[in-house]
Amino acid sequence: MWYVSTRGMAPRVDFEGALFSGYAPDGGLFMPEELPQLDRETLRQWSALSYPGLVAELCALFIGPELIPREDLNGLIQRAFRRFRHREVVHLSRLRDGLNVLELWHGATYAFKDLSLSCTAQFLQYFLQKRGKHVTVVVGTSGDTGSAAIESVRGAKNVGIIVLLPQGHCTKIQERQMTTVLEENVRVFGGECWGGRQGMEGNSDELDEPIKAVFADVAFVKKHNLMSLNSINWSRVLVQMAHHFFAYFQCVPSLDLHPLPTVEVVVPTGAAGNLAAGCIAQKMGLPVHLVAAVNCNDIIHRTVQRGDFSLSDTVKPTLASAMDIQVPYNMERIFWLLSGSDSQMTRGLMEQFERTQNVRLPEELQSKPSPVLPGPCLCSQVSRSCRGCWTEPGNSRGHPSPGGKGDVLHPDAEE
């Protein structure tokens, strides 16, 4: 499997190259050169698999046995999920009237990013041990990516991690998850001056600016063996595809129906990594409709609804800090998919956005059937938006999931 940049100006790489690169040298994001198409029989076989089994099948498709033999890959996936609290790793809770919630919070930090980062860290260490190398991971975070990334590599001898966070803009729990890890390979810095801004009053978008500038200096990155674990990294998107397959198989009673029924998947989103994963699954043949749910920082909603990919005047802080994002960098992957892998069009859109922060999608993109539907703009106080949900009496765990009466459902989102 080969990977190409969404901007079309960088050499193609294999999975190992995409894993260690983060951004492509031309500023784009890596995507598979070709997407495998899954027939009904493959979907039927996959429908019987556990969540870890699905992750292994997807990773086998996109990594290849020449890089990680299947037996080694199975072992890496098994080790990645051994700290998860639920025996299924991921669990579907059934609510009322056909509504279901996919529980992605059973990892070490209670963030859905534990799933993809635990696997990505295993892949990293596999290649590093094989090559006898060391890398330093640089992560900007509004909370959940930082703590999940730290947990995935803490204590690793061949991986160091530097986490940058906008001070005062993470939850107290997440801040403590990051700042209380006493490991030699972990460094956490609270941001008071990022991107030339003194006394930063901003957000994770402002952290992304200097990080992207660092990774644009290819010689510096190579000299210091730097890489990123934000959702620019293809490996995270790859693992997140399993969320959509697992949810579909849990919701559909039979794969013998003709045509296969469609499942609507509502994705609370910030930087659109999980959304991009769903779009790729869709392109591979999974019958899902994706609905993007955002808070008042609604650039994705405006882009999907009317082609308005532009920054608002300010980022408004909400209780869902991981969704307080105005630069959803994985939309670049979605534009590339929607344009039919047109790297020239994608490069033009993204370079214009980087110059002006204001892009109107061309008519030829807006006129195509969108893989994503505009969803609800959740109110800024997220805890008020999802009260009163109950699990069905037959819920296998016998108690309300978050979102049940007396609980608060905070949507997961990605950086």
**Which residues belong to the active site?**
113
CA distance between the termini of the chain:
26
Whose tokens are 């800090």? That residue is: 321
CA distance 202 to 313: 12
CA distance 398 to 392: 9
CA distance 216 to 218: 6
15 bridge partner residues: none
Per the CB < 8 A criterion, the answer to whether 140 and 164 are in contact is yes
Bond from prior residue into 259 cis (ω within 30 degrees of 0): yes
Per the CB < 8 A criterion, the answer to whether 347 and 332 are in contact is no
CA distance 301 to 327: 13
> 271: closest CA among 313, 305, 306, 240?
240
Write out the E strands in 356-411: 358-360, 372-377
| Alpha helices, DSSP H, located in 32-143 | 40-46, 51-63, 70-80, 113-131
Per the CB < 8 A criterion, the answer to whether 343 and 8 are in contact is yes
Per-position b or e across 107-133, b if 16+ CB within 10 A of its CB: bbbbbbbbbbbbbbbbbbbbbbeeeee
CA distance 208 to 196: 12
Give the DSSP H or E segment for 159.
strand 159-166
CA distance 301 to 174: 27
Number of C-beta neighbours around residue 243 at 10 A:
25
How far is the CA of 30 from the CAs of 23, 48, 239, 240, 336, in angstroms? 7, 30, 15, 15, 11
Q: Please give the torsion angle defined by the CA atoms of residues 394, 395, 401 and 407, in that order, rounded to the nearest 10 degrees.
A: 10
Q: What angle do CA 375, 377, 383 make, to 5 degrees?
A: 120
